[in-house]
Structure 1
Amino acid sequence: MKIGIIGAGALGCYYGAKLVRGGHRVCFIARGATLQALRTRGVCVRRDAEQFAVTDLQATDQAREVGPVDLVLVATKSYDLKSIAPALRMLKGPETIVLPLQNGVDIAEQLGALTEPAHILGGLTYLPVSTVEPGVVRQTGEEKPMLLGPLRAADQPAADAALGALRQAGIAAEIPADIRVALWMKFLLAVCTMGVQSVCGRPIGPTREDPDTRALYTACMREVAAVAARTGVVLPDDAQEQMMTAIDAYPANVKASMLQDLEHGRPLELDAMHGTVVRLGEALGVATPVNRFIYAALKLRAGHSIS
């Protein structure tokens, strides 16, 4: 396949490198120091059991040089979606499959509003990967499978084709029974961990051990589950228990990505997370006081407002 990667951060570089190694023609849409690194030395992946590098790739900041591709992986942050719209339109032909990997439950809908909506899948990953320096990424622990699937019945063949390309490259990937449920399950976990830790300014250990902040985790999740149900997505009866079990299993010093972004003065994915819960809650008649508090507590620091 001819594959475009929009966003050459940790996820984009990791999956892109494996796709190159699997024999696909891959082009990264990147900029700045990352673009320079990809052009001069390619991508280096460091894992617990191996290290490998790929150089047989294309990297550019001009998507028009690439043209339509078979598959696009969108691996930017959620707040960058509007800014990458011109590149996506350049890469997307009538049969191009688009696989977004951002945090959030309405990413495909947002992308569909920015370009032709056909063949835009739902996608998510729990992959533990980080950027060491531009073009160099570190993947630790288990390579948890990427989850992807059609949001419309007509896109099942597109999902199957994307799955085949990923697996051909040795990427762990699965199509769950309902990608919407999978998206909301990840959202359930991400919203509460990002919000509670960012408001408290503390990692996962102290916030899950203190009774008051642990209660914030569960209250936040109850609101998300209620919003999901009102949209027609029914989560498992023990969804919140599953997520608290996952939270309790993390090393105590783990910090949610939003807390890390806050500490380093980077933009926050606040609108895609708590802003979405509040916005959908208002539209669907679901009260979301905990998520509204978290949003209000962080929005001035994030420079965001609910849209």
Structure 2
Amino acid sequence: MAVLGAGSIGCHLGGLLADTAEVVLIGRPGAMAAIEADGLTLTGPGEARRVTHRLTLATGAEAAAGADYVLVTVKSTDTAAAAAQLAPHLSPGTVVISFQNGLHNPALLRAALPDHPVLAGMVPYNVVRTGPAAFHQGSGGRVLLADAPDAAGFLAAAAGTGLRVAAHPDMPGVQAAKLVMNLNNAINALSDLPLREQLGRRAYRVCLARCQREALAAFRAAGIRPVQLGAVPPARMPLLLGLPDPLFRRLAGAALRIDAKARSSMWEDLQRGRPTEVDSLQGEVVALAERHGLRAPACARLVELVHQAERAGAGAARPWSGPELRAELG
């Protein structure tokens, strides 16, 4: 297996799959050099820890040649470029799996790689970099993959590892549900708080509920039905989020069973001075709403605030308190 875009999610997936498969990580030179020097350390959920050196490391897409599966874990803005880099090197029969945020990446990959099966996948939990070659899974969940014959080899390889994977018949609905959950990424990034602490404060949850209501309205207009991934149906999430803190903690205990270290990937991007995926999350809601004659003002304002934070530079963005952010969203 090859992993193109071996950042937090890519290293996590590749490191676990190395128990049963030959894995090539393709990533930035600095990141690959750190893994070469120290091995890849994966921690979480909880106190779980493993270090692996059983990896081939590379910095160019040509290293994907001969792979049975190529896992694409680049940011959505880099999907088209990733497909162009892969196209000359994929072997006949290579299956490509998109483990990316957003709604459109599998379709983009299929259009660019018409001779190869492309499957949609979804990682439900967050993974953050905790050191040059160390990555931490902050919450639990089962990775989902399109229920298709081409997924069989991947599922068989994952079965012998610590990676929990299941096939799902409705990946568009899964991706929509993941987008609804990922709308918290921007709020967490702007709060500069760990996820558990941020979600424990009602003002931040009210901001998330506003974004989710806008997303659910846009999905209804577009005929998209997010599936239920957890204990609460997507349509009821905004109501739950708006409850007072003590009642929320009692009713949504699972939502707060998050490692104290856990933060969103967008927070990590802002800390490292990298572009975020806000345009593929809140920005996607704004675009979908506009196509159906709706507005999504809370999502639109969060897009603006995250881009302002990007322009501030690595780790220099102002933190927003819950009441401040709630007032800003109107």
From 213, 236, 251, the counterpart of 1:222 = 213
From 287, 293, 299, the counterpart of 2:301 = 293
| Identity over aligned pairs, percent | 24
From 286, 290, 299, the counterpart of 1:278 = 286
1:190, CA displacement in angstroms? Answer: 0.8
Is 1:8–1:30's contact at 8 Å kept on the other side of the alignment? yes
What are the Cα deviations for residues 220-269 of structure 1, in whole angstroms up to 9, with x where unaligned?
11111122223332235931434744655557885433234334433211
What are the Cα deviations for residues 163-184 of structure 1, in whole angstroms up to 9, with x where unaligned?
2222233421011241222211
From 22, 27, 31, the counterpart of 1:30 = 27
The verdict on how the C-alpha distance between 1:136 and 1:186 changes in structure 2, with shifts beyond 3 A counting, is same
Is residue 47 of structure 2 the alignment partner of residue 52 of structure 1? no
Is residue 290 of structure 2 the alignment partner of residue 256 of structure 1? no
Name the structure 2 match of 1:173: 165
The number of equivalent residue pairs is: 292
From 214, 224, 231, the counterpart of 2:222 = 231
Is residue 217 of structure 2 the alignment partner of residue 209 of structure 1? no
Is residue 69 of structure 2 the alignment partner of residue 74 of structure 1? no
Is residue 187 of structure 2 the alignment partner of residue 196 of structure 1? yes
From 120, 123, 127, the counterpart of 1:122 = 120
Counterpart secondary structure, 1:268: coil
- Provide TM-score, normalisation by structure 2: 0.76
The verdict on how the C-alpha distance between 1:301 and 1:164 changes in structure 2, with shifts beyond 3 A counting, is same
Counterparts of 1:20 and 1:253, CA distance in 2: 25
The verdict on how the C-alpha distance between 1:43 and 1:206 changes in structure 2, with shifts beyond 3 A counting, is closer
The verdict on how the C-alpha distance between 1:260 and 1:97 changes in structure 2, with shifts beyond 3 A counting, is same
User: In angstroms, what is the RMSD of aligned CA positions?
Assistant: 3.0
Counterpart secondary structure, 1:5: strand
| Structure 2: 5+ residue stretches without partners | 242-251, 312-330
Counterpart secondary structure, 2:305: helix
User: Aligned ranges for residues 93-172 of structure 1 at < 5 Å?
Assistant: 93-116=91-114, 118-140=116-138, 142=140, 144-149=141-146, 156-172=148-164
Question: Which is worse superposed, 113-122 or 69-78?
Answer: 113-122
1:188, CA displacement in angstroms? Answer: 0.4
Counterparts of 2:9 and 2:62, CA distance in 1: 23
Counterparts of 1:52 and 1:294, CA distance in 2: 37
Name the structure 2 match of 1:241: 236
Aligned-partner residue type, residue 222 of structure 2:
T
The verdict on how the C-alpha distance between 1:279 and 1:201 changes in structure 2, with shifts beyond 3 A counting, is same
Counterpart secondary structure, 1:84: helix
| Structure 1: 5+ residue stretches without partners | 151-155
Aligned-partner residue type, residue 73 of structure 2:
A
Counterparts of 1:255 and 1:172, CA distance in 2: 21
Is 1:195–1:294's contact at 8 Å kept on the other side of the alignment? yes
- Provide TM-score, normalisation by structure 1: 0.81
1:120, CA displacement in angstroms? Answer: 1.4
Counterparts of 1:43 and 1:248, CA distance in 2: 28
What are the Cα deviations for residues 44-85 of structure 1, in whole angstroms up to 9, with x where unaligned?
333455543333332112322441421111122333324423
